[in-house]
Amino acid sequence: MAGSESIPLTSEQDVVFARQTVRRVARQMDFSIVDQTKIVTAASELARNALVYGGGGVLEWETIGENGREGLRLTVSDKGPGIEDLTLAMKDGWTSGKGLGLGLPGAKRLVNDFAITSTPGRGTTVIVTKWK
Amino acid sequence: MEDTQFRAHAILKKYGAGILADWTADLAEGLKNDRRISESELGNQTREFLLLLEAATSGEGGVESAGWATVREFLDGISRSRAQQGFTADETATLIFSFKKPLFEYLRKEFGKDPQVLADETWKATDLIDRLGLHTVKSFQAARESIINRQQEELLELSTPVVKLWDGVLALPMIGTLDSARTQVVMETLLQRIVDTGSEIAIIDITGVPTVDTLTAQHLLKTVTAIRMMGADCIISGIRPQIAQTIVHLGIDLQGVTTKATLADALGLALKRSGLVVSKKV
Amino acid sequence: MERIPILRMGRFLLVTIQIEMDDQIALALQDDLTLQIQKTSARGVLIDISAVETVDSFIGRMIGNISAMSLILDARTVVVGMQPAVAITLVELGLTLPGVRTALNVERGMALLAVLDEQFEVASGGE
């Protein structure tokens, strides 16, 4: 299974569609049910962030191969206000009030590779990868 | 090398039948009472080896080259089946090394009148057979390792079954060290069984676990949390004194998980929580 | 727009989530549920998520909201049928749905609601 696709995120329905697409791709790639659920949940979190905080964005998925192993890479980007303090954003704290409540540290735990870049005023891009 | 190939090839072509007969006879003698392999099977293997050897020696290149790929694959196949049948490494390699005797006999027959040539050819033949023999040993060892790995996995599966102790009470006796990957798989199985059986109490018994490190403890706790989130509860039993110490030293917070020293105590508690009472018939 | 159906089972309400939820559907559910609780004087709400394969923070918040709103309207909430993969993922996410009670299936969920209802009645001196 190989491929890639770009999904616009301009509405709630788009977030749902993106989530369903990632589920379909992960299933086709034969990820375990638990791994499927993890990557799909991460996709949902990031996509919703792009929509709600980033004013809309794009989710790109692509299958990748490296050193004989297969992986699914998601790139979620928006051209929104960006994140001023990335360290704070990566701090845990759903209920404690710490962190920014963007669910980024949580999403990071669901995937294998996690990278985030953000420029205040220009936008945010998050790239995550789940390996089989 | 070209020289040898040419001569070896010629020898094999000319005396193939004789070499095969002598070789098979020698081997049969050695394996007389061995039930692991039949005469006809052995005959097939020796015949095929000879054919492949004849073809390979007609080309250029040494034992590691492309032209010898079929011979190497054949030897790999022999190694695998011998390994599975329970032969030892030297028993398997003997198959190849024993080829020297008949081959040298016929080399002597052909070049007996010319000692120098005989010496050269014998040396080249020895070198060739040795390399093939070593390849066989190498691939035998690889085959043994993969068999052992597979057996370990099967043992692992057997050693962490999820058992139903009573209606609504499941137990997971864990044995051996808990490595990350294995723990995750086992925990997922436990969660699925909880859902499938509708059991509200799961007892994770770690009597058979020698050590617990931070990562293992975290996995254990995550599993307990997941079980509670699904609407069931968990009891951890079989915590030995050393493990209790490790848990405290590592600063692990058990978050109110009920712990019991033995599986029996845990079962007692589970039955009580289920509203059951065990009484003796008078 | 699809609306999630709410079934009445005695003094409890049963909500089975079988479609993908977006914010519109979630809001509609909260509206419908609070209305139904009031109309039927329901004592409890059962949310069946056995068909839900993905629970993210949005759904988590929705469940938390429903639980809180229902309580204000004098009804307890129990979530049932959480799939193992979902439970594992939520734990990893760090989303533990505090204050939300769970049960393995509808049957046990009902039993739990009944117990909670009794306790509440006893605690508040009966009605």
ipTM of the complex: 0.90
Measured between CB atoms, does C105 come within 8 Å of chain B?
yes
For the residues C61-77, what does the mean pLDDT come to?
93
Measured between CB atoms, does C88 come within 8 Å of chain B?
yes
Are C56 and A44 inside 8 Å of each other by CB? yes
Per-residue pLDDT for B212 more than 60? Answer: yes
Binding-face residues of C in 6-65 toward B, CB within 8 A: none
For the residues B171-191, what does the mean pLDDT come to?
81
Most confident range, picked from A72-76, B91-95, C122-126: A72-76
Are A109 and C85 inside 8 Å of each other by CB? no
Most confident range, picked from B11-15, B35-39, B143-147, C49-53: C49-53
CATH class given for the domain over A4-131:
alpha beta
Are A110 and C88 inside 8 Å of each other by CB? no
Are C20 and A19 inside 8 Å of each other by CB? yes
Q: How confident is the model at residue B33 (pLDDT cuts 50, 70, 90)?
A: low
Measured between CB atoms, does C125 come within 8 Å of chain A?
no
pLDDT at B2: 47
Measured between CB atoms, does A80 come within 8 Å of chain C?
no
Domain boundaries, chain B: 2-156, 163-273
Distance from the Cα of A37 to chain C's closest Cα (Å) equals: 6
B100-111 and B115-158 are packed helices; what angle lies between their axes, rounded to 10 degrees?
170
Chain B residues closer than 8 Å to C103 by CB: 231
**Cα C43 to Cα A63, A97, C14, distances in angstroms:** 49, 32, 11
Distance from the Cα of A120 to chain C's closest Cα (Å) equals: 25
Measured between CB atoms, does C2 come within 8 Å of chain A?
no
Measured between CB atoms, does C83 come within 8 Å of chain B?
yes
Per-residue pLDDT for B134 more than 50? Answer: yes
CA A6 to chain CA centroid, Å, is 13
Q: How confident is the model at residue B157 (pLDDT cuts 50, 70, 90)?
A: low
pLDDT at B197: 95
Q: How confident is the model at residue B144 (pLDDT cuts 50, 70, 90)?
A: confident
Q: Which fold has domain C6-123?
A: Transcription Regulator spoIIAA (3.30.750)
CA atoms within 13 Å, Cβ hemisphere of A97: 0
Burial status of residue C107 (CB atoms within 10 A of its CB: 0-12, 13-18, 19 or more): exposed
Domain boundaries, chain A: 4-131
Most confident range, picked from B11-15, B150-154, B162-166: B162-166
Cβ-contact C43, C73 below 8 angstroms: no
Who among A12, A20, A94 is closest to C23 (CB)?
Answer: A12
Q: Which fold has domain B2-156?
A: Globin-like (1.10.490)
For the residues B109-113, what does the mean pLDDT come to?
87
Q: What whole-number distance in Å separates Cα of residue C54 and Cα of residue A37?
A: 6
Per-residue pLDDT for B142 more than 90? Answer: no
For the residues A42-63, what does the mean pLDDT come to?
95
Are B229 and C84 inside 8 Å of each other by CB? no
pLDDT at A128: 98
pLDDT at B1: 45
Residue ranges of alpha helices (H) inside B58-88 are: 69-85
Residue of C nearest to A35 (CA): C85
Question: What does the pLDDT look like over B57-101, one tens digit per residue?
Answer: 887 778 888 888 889 889 988 898 888 888 888 888 888 899 999
pLDDT at A115: 96
- Over pLDDT 70: what percentage of chain B? 94
Q: How confident is the model at residue C12 (pLDDT cuts 50, 70, 90)?
A: very high
Chain C residues closer than 8 Å to B191 by CB: 84, 87-88
Q: How confident is the model at residue B3 (pLDDT cuts 50, 70, 90)?
A: low
- Residue A61: name the closest of A30, A23, A96, A34 by CA: A23
Segment among B24-33, B109-118, B260-269 with least mean pLDDT: B24-33
For the residues A117-127, what does the mean pLDDT come to?
94
Q: Which fold has domain B163-273?
A: Transcription Regulator spoIIAA (3.30.750)
Per-residue pLDDT for B180 more than 90? Answer: no
For the residues B161-186, what does the mean pLDDT come to?
84
